[in-house]
Structure formats: C-alpha cells, structure tokens
C-alpha cells in the first residue's frame, strides 16, 4: 500500500539517538551509530520522532510500505531490551473487577492500556465498535465520579494539548478513520487551553470524513458540569 512513512537521511544523522527514544513503537533503532527505520510495519506515520531530530535528518515520504501493525509493535516492544513496559498494549476487564477488585472506593472503569493519546496504538483491536471518551488530563482530578459517569463502557483517551505541545488531530484522525467508532464524548475543563482537545476532535472528524455522534462536556475547576452539548 502507498502510505506516509518516515525517511532517515543517514548523511545528516549525527547519531544522537533522540528519535529512537521518542518513537513509542520502537520503529527506529541505532545501527552502526546511525538511526535506522527497523521495519515499515512498526512505523505509524505520525512522526513523534521528527521534532526531536536536531539535524533535520527525518522527513515524511509517501511510498509503498507495509501497513502499520499494532500487534507486531506490541510484541516487538515486549521483547525489546530497555523498552518501556508501561507502553505495552493491554485490554482490561472492568466488569471482572466489579466482583474481584472492588474496594470501598469503587471500581476502576479503565478498559485499556495505554490511555495517553500520544502512546495509544491507532489500530488497537479495542477501538472496533468502541464508544470513545477523549478527556483532558485535569478532568479526572476535578470530577470525582469520572469512572462511573464517563469512563464506564468506553475506551478512554487522555491528554493535555498545552503540556504535550502537540496537535492531537492527526492521530485522532487515524483512529477515527481506521476503526468503527460508534460515539465520542469529549470531556474538557472550562479553561481556554482545553479548547485544543475539543478542536482536535472536531478536525479529526472533518478530516476522516466520518459523521460520528459527538458530545462535548465542560467541567468547572471545582468539578461541576457547566455544559453538555452535541456537536
């Protein structure tokens, strides 16, 4: 298939390794002191590595390449020496925790790992037929009932466009375009910077060409629901 994928200019590469550290899928490795794309199907084409390169050696190209393979990436990262175990993809079972993991404080409704927008694989199997909750980081701290009122029965993605200094719309576009998403709930704070996560979802829907029922819920900093509207 023809798709967007990274290309590394070995002449420009200074061997610093910053791109390999920034690649969440382990697609880049250091070979003979230079960065190298190890396998096409490890590269999701989103380019988290690009801004880390001090010499501009990494660019996007459109070429014939194997499709991104989330399962192969998960297996690769599990075997990779020095890989981060916290990024390994897992499907969780909140309903099982209803009976085996319940405490006086309640039950976690997180249905998958990882949950950070930057880390989640775009073709993870749990996206098929999913209802998405796309939440700003601070919402979990402001709203005590987030697990039962918003996360229950949903795949949860979290992020902060201000702290991450990224535009999530490209990755969200790939998630929406490549999977059968049934609905989206955006949970944001009242502060202006949280508008970035709402705008990223709106752009992802436009760019993917899909019409998916979407609700935007805004919370106050003291945990009250200020508004809830359908986009």
What span, in angstroms and rounded, lies between the C-alpha atoms of 177 and 169?
12
What span, in angstroms and rounded, lies between the C-alpha atoms of 74 and 76?
5
Interaxial angle between packed helices 169-178 and 195-208, expressed in degrees from 0 to 180 and rounded to the nearest 10 = 40
pLDDT of 48 over the 70 cut: yes
pTM for this entry: 0.66
Q: What is the pLDDT of residues 20-32, one digit of tens each?
A: 878 888 899 888 8
Give the H/E segment covering residue 75: helix 70-79
98 falls in which pLDDT band (50, 70, 90)?
low
Q: Per-residue pLDDT averaged across 150-167, rounded?
A: 91
Local structure of 153: helix, strand or coil: coil
Between 97 and 6, the more confident residue is: 6
SS3 content of the chain, % helix, strand, coil (to 5): 30, 25, 40
Give the H/E segment covering residue 31: strand 28-31
pLDDT at 14: 87
């Amino acid at each position: 298939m023809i798709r967007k994928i990274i290309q590394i200019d070995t002449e420009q590469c200074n061997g610093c390794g910053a791109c390999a550290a920034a690649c969440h899928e382990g697609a880049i490795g250091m070979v003979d002191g230079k960065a190298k794309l190890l396998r096409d199907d490890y590269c999701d084409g989103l380019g988290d590595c690009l801004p880390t390169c001090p010499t501009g050696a990494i660019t996007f190209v459109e070429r014939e390449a194997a499709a991104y393979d989330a399962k192969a990436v998960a297996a690769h990262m599990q075997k990779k020496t020095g890989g981060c175990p916290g990024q390994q993809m897992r499907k969780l079972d909140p309903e099982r925790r209803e009976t085996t993991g319940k405490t006086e404080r309640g039950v976690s409704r997180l249905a998958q790992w990882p949950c950070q927008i930057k880390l989640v694989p775009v073709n993870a199997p749990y996206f098929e037929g999913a209802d998405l909750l796309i939440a700003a980081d601070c919402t979990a701290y402001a709203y005590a009932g987030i697990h039962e009122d918003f996360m229950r029965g949903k795949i949860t993605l979290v992020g902060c466009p201000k702290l991450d200094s990224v535009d999530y719309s490209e990755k969200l576009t790939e998630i929406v375009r490549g999977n059968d998403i049934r609905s989206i709930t955006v949970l944001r704070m009242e502060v202006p910077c949280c508008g970035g996560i709402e705008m990223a979802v709106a752009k992802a829907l436009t760019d993917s060409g899909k019409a998916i029922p979407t609700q935007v819920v805004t919370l106050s900093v003291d945990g009250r629901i200020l508004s809830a509207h359908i986009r």
